[in-house]
Each structure stands twice: as structure tokens, then as C-alpha cells.
């Protein structure tokens, strides 16, 4: 759901950039305090995986595109602060290296996917694993974290496009939320499979207990 240049007005992309910068500033401080030597390679592995997954794009109405996000995957395995930095790094590389998403819209894309998407995934996951502590409950929590993170990011992008006058809200909501519901279902399934595989292989530890 990368938003290109020219689709957001100044007030919207500037406001989103300010919010993203503030959120990433907090994430950098939190991650610096938490990061250990063993975690650095894991951040790189996660960033590489998400980068590859996000390169597969599906065109959607209003000049935007849909793709797997990886917000839930990184939030579950790394916690929200590190996940924000991983997703932001991926989005910055895609923007400047592959022209995927506009430069002026970079703050909005980070806000939608690396901030809102990550935090929705993390909060949904943490809530559900407390309510449903069984193995099945944990799998459901991961699945819904993936699904709802995608829909939340799509909703945020839709509101930005509508506030900018690029496309009417009913049209963009129908296109974005409808398509991203399908993408979110796939994201939820893939997230469950990848988390289980990486935890089983002891590449990552499932991070339900990280301090918020």
C-alpha cells in the first residue's frame, strides 16, 4: 500500500512525517536500551525477509498498491520498537532504492505500515494471548494480528488519501479495505507459519512477554 508522490497534499504528508519522526525517535531510544549483540543479526534477517515479501505488489484503485506487510511477524518476534525500525528501514530502502512509494509520502507510508500496522498487530497479539493462553489461542492471536494490522494500515492510508482530496472516502475504503482483507488473510496465515517455523528452528523466540 505504498502511496506515491503527488497523492497526498502538503498538510497530510507533512503531518504524517512529523508523527512518524516522533514515533521513530522513541523507537530508537527504546531499541538502543534493549538491543544486544545476538539481536542485531536477527534484525537484519527480519528486514531482509520483509523486504523480499514487500516487493510483490498488487495494484489497487487510487494509485496505491497492496502487498504483505510483515508488521505482525516482526512485532510478535521482536517486539514493537524493534519492529518499527525494521519496517521503517525496509520502507526507506524501497523508497530511495527502488522508487516504491513517494519521497514526500514516505512519512505517511512509515506511519501506516511501520507504526500503526506494527502497534495494532502487537496489541491484538498481546491481548489475545492473555485471553486465550492455549496453543490454539496463540495461533489465532498471531493470525488475527496479521489480518488486523493490514486492515489498520489500509484504513490509515485510505483516510490520508481522502483527506488530501485524491479520491472520495467511500471509493477508497471499498477498494483498499476490500483488497486488503484478502491480503490480510494471507498475511495472517503466512505469519502463523513463519513464526512457528522460526521458533521451532530457534532462530527467534516468540516475544509475547516483551515490555511495551
Helix (H, G, I), strand (E, B) or coil at 59: strand
| pLDDT value, residue 212 | 36
Judge whether 41 lies within some domain. yes
Judge whether 164 lies within some domain. yes
Judge whether 34 lies within some domain. yes
- Could you tell me the pTM of the whole model? 0.88
Expressed as residue numbers, the domain containing 180 is: 10-200
Judge whether 127 lies within some domain. yes
- Per-residue confidence band for 211, with pLDDT thresholds at 50, 70 and 90: very low
Judge whether 186 lies within some domain. yes
Instruction: Kindly give the pairing relationship between strand 65-66 and strand 58-59.
Output: antiparallel
Question: Which residues share a beta bridge with 66?
Answer: 58
CATH number at 45 reads 1.10.1760.20
**pLDDT tens digits for 70-110?**
999 999 999 999 999 999 999 999 899 888 889 999 999 99
Question: Which residues share a beta bridge with 59?
Answer: 65
If you average pLDDT over residues 49-57, what whole number do you get? Answer: 76
| pLDDT value, residue 179 | 83
**Longest C-alpha distance within the chain, in Å?**
48
* Between 190 and 115, residue with greater pLDDT: 115
Domains in the chain, number: 1
If you average pLDDT over residues 49-59, what whole number do you get? Answer: 73
Alpha-carbon gap, residue 131 to 165, rounded angstroms: 41
Alpha-carbon gap, residue 35 to 163, rounded angstroms: 38
Judge whether 50 lies within some domain. yes
The x, y and z cell numbers of residue 9, run together, are 497534499
Judge whether 3 lies within some domain. no
Amino acid at each position: 500500500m505504498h502511496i506515491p508522490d503527488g497523492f497526498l497534499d502538503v498538510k497530510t504528508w507533512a503531518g504524517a512525517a512529523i508523527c512518524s519522526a516522533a514515533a521513530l525517535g522513541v523507537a530508537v531510544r527504546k531499541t538502543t536500551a534493549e538491543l544486544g549483540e545476538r539481536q542485531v543479526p536477527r534484525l537484519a534477517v527480519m528486514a531482509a525477509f520483509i523486504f523480499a515479501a514487500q516487493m510483490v505488489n498488487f495494484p489497487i484503485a487510487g494509485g496505491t498498491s497492496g502487498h504483505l506487510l510483515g508488521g505482525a511477524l516482526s512485532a510478535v518476534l521482536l517486539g514493537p520498537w524493534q519492529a518499527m525500525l525494521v519496517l521503517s528501514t525496509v520502507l526507506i530502502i524501497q523508497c530511495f532504492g527502488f522508487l516504491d512509494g513517494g519521497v514526500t509520502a514516505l512519512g505517511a507510508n512509515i506511519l501506516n505500515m511501520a507504526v500503526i500496522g506494527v502497534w495494532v498487530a502487537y496489541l491484538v497479539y498481546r491481548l489475545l494471548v492473555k485471553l486465550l493462553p492455549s496453543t490454539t489461542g496463540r495461533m489465532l492471536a498471531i493470525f488475527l494480528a496479521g489480518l488486523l494490522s493490514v486492515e489498520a494500515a489500509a484504513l490509515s492510508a485510505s483516510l490520508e488519501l481522502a483527506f488530501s482530496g485524491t479520491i472520495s472516502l467511500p471509493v477508497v475504503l471499498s477498494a483498499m479495505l476490500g483488497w486488503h482483507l484478502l491480503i490480510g488473510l494471507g498475511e495472517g496465515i503466512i505469519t502463523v507459519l513463519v513464526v512457528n517455523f522460526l521458533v521451532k528452528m530457534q532462530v527467534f523466540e516468540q516475544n509475547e512477554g516483551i515490555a511495551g
